Structure 1
Amino acid sequence: MLIKDIMERLDAKKERVIDIRRHLHAHPELSFEEEKTAAYIKDFYREVPVDAVETNVGGHRGIAVTIKGAEPGKTIAIRADFDALPIQEETGHPYASENEGVMHACGHDGHTAYMLVLAETLAEVKDQLTGMIKIIHQPAEEMPPGGAIGMIDAGVLDGVDAVIGIHVMSMMETGHIYYKSGNTQTGRSHFKLTIQGKGGHGSSPHMANDAIVAASAFVMNCQTIVSRRVDPFDTAVVTIGSFDGKGQFNVIKDSVTLEGDVRTMSQEAREIVEAQVRQFAKGLESSYGVETTLDYENDYPVLYNDPEVTEHVRNALVEASIPEVESVEETGPLPPSEDFAYYLKEKPGCFFYVGAMPETQEWYPHHHPKFDINEKSLIISAKAMAAVVVSYCGSNKSE
């Protein structure tokens, strides 16, 4: 059987996928700056019998690889991201980041490692495949506007029947695979509000107009958006992550800049939050006599897993009976946002999750300086994606 052949080939590469991940982990690069990582990926494919390798796809070092089966069939796209974060690593690993202040603190090194080895393996058996496999190595998932938009505009999804992605998850138990149909991860927005008052001496507030007071009112007003404006059966989070009001104890602040983060699980909630933020910002002008400038940006949309494709993926994972996988189970919605959502707006697809909790059971969340994954999740990810690919592109002649 084709799937059995692929699994055996992947088993023979278990140590290699770990070596690749550790190399990438030691050499992380920030979003839109992944020059050496992109070169590493490109070099990997020099000796791999794929049918095409396109570089600088989307203008930001994206790489698109094509593997053609021996016969016509469906076209499936599979994606792995490869950027890191501006975090100083604190894991103490011998393969810890060698780049000061930059760390693979989200697992994208693991995504790239498993995808490279899987792509090589699929290329080795392409005479037993049908249709076409498009492999998307995407930069800049972490930073808006994200790398997905440019790659989509460059045509990586042209002719694609389904697009599939995986994320390893440190808080999910290793050996378990998780999926969810429908709205699965939040959409994201962010804003920057500048409040211009009139500075003055702390002893004479009547001669000034305190921007800190107005900004504080805005912060408190924002706390009512979720509790009083959003449907309680919907999901929204509003966070003021930056309040730049530092000054001197006896000086009334002239201006203050706030920055906020918004997460929503529906378009309706996204529109409500934006309208309320704009209303509160404008209201400060009449209530406090200040001037306001608001920059509000909606970026990553809600991640929506197509129900039919998600069920197809679930069945493929269950039927593959991957030895390292104890269960394939449904998860609840997840709060983080993900630019894979852009692909899912264009084509039906599924983004699912592979448990990567360290064996010690002591885990740190994604984007933490001590974030780590169980490297067993790498071979599980490769096998899981292989099962899905074969379910779409496996030749009956190989069975």
Structure 2
Amino acid sequence: MSIKIRRLDSRSPDFSARLEQLLAWHEEFDADVHRTVMEILKDVRREGDAAVLDYTRRFDRLEAASVAELELDAGRQELALAAIPAEQRQALEAAAARIRAYAEHQKLTSWEYRDDLGNLLGQKITPLDRVGLYVPGGKAAYPSSVLMNAIPARVAGVGELVMTVPTPDGEINDLVLAAARIAGVDRIFRIGGAQAVAALAYGTETIPRVDKIVGPGNIYVATAKKLVFGQVGIDMIAGPSEILIIADGNTDPDWIAMDLFSQAEHDEDAQAILLCPDPAYLDRVAASIEKLLPTLERREVIAASLQKRGALIQVQDLQEACAIANRIAPEHLELSVAEPEALLLEIRHAGAVFMGPYTAEALGDYCAGPNHVLPTSGTARFSSPLGVYDFQKRTSVIECTADGASPLAETAKVLAEREGLTAHARSAGYRIRHET
């Protein structure tokens, strides 16, 4: 299988324009999808369980007399855990332990202090009461995503975790259920699509309303999450998977080629880019791509991804590579160089950074510990990976003493009067000492 992956050179006069063209990603707005999702949301909000059952029959070809029949009890999770091969169970448990250990370091804690006026100021940290986890079903089943979404919520102290997963034609994925059991999911409903998002966002007679919805899904799920945001919190709307590799030319080119493939195999819109100052090394990686691609099951998807949005880019030096990386703000950034710590100091925008040639991005997808739910499409400039902090709320705490309130009230009164908010001014004024 021959593949033509674009080559760019940072010294070319048109490099900036060509890079922008390469990076451009504008999710197409599908009016038909939007209308369909709007109708589903409206129906579920109005008819509750009845609408959920109807859409589950239509889209998943799954008959049930009630939504209660679509709930899987804890015993079914236990059966799934017992049914999977020991090797898979051990892998899930090992990954879960590492994800949990990392998440423990992310917990925010309440704090307070007294200012020089004697007033108490602080911040109270409270976990969300209930979180909904959307999990794709059928062939697109990802137990790793169950762990990555559920475990931080559990570490945060979320009161209840409700999972929805479609089971088309009744097909249940035991590995997903086993992951849910290991991660501590409380309730599981066999529903999917926009109707599952609607049920979690609005609540039905059987499915409880949640405070936040997390987890990946198709275009219908993503559109539904966008539309219910505000009624309920969401994690993020993720774009195509991305990997950017900065290499010094000393890593086995087969390793680099396979690391590029690891993201390109997600779908045709995924993006895989290599930056290196050595043109001969880029040639070697290109040869490895040609050699290794035919050996992979998803070679057609990988080829389409690399030809559509992939690139091998020659840079002047590793410092310029870091500057380009900051411009791209990739989801995954591999620093396949001898001294990655030095380059890390120059990186400002990336979802996750993988240090050194032995740290394959794939390790982060499953078991390194940090979360694999990451900002995409340049949003790492202002967004962060999913973490425990996404399942905790921050509440400001203020307590003024009689003496401490007076000077604050004087300041507030002046500003409120300037803004024309008389009640604010008078409310503050009551707390000024000696004022009637």
Structure number with higher strand proportion: 1
The interval holding the TM-score normalised by the smaller chain is under 0.3
Structure number with higher helix proportion: 2
Return the index of the structure with the highest Cα Rg. Answer: 2
TM-score, structure 2 as length reference:
0.23
TM-score, structure 1 as length reference:
0.24
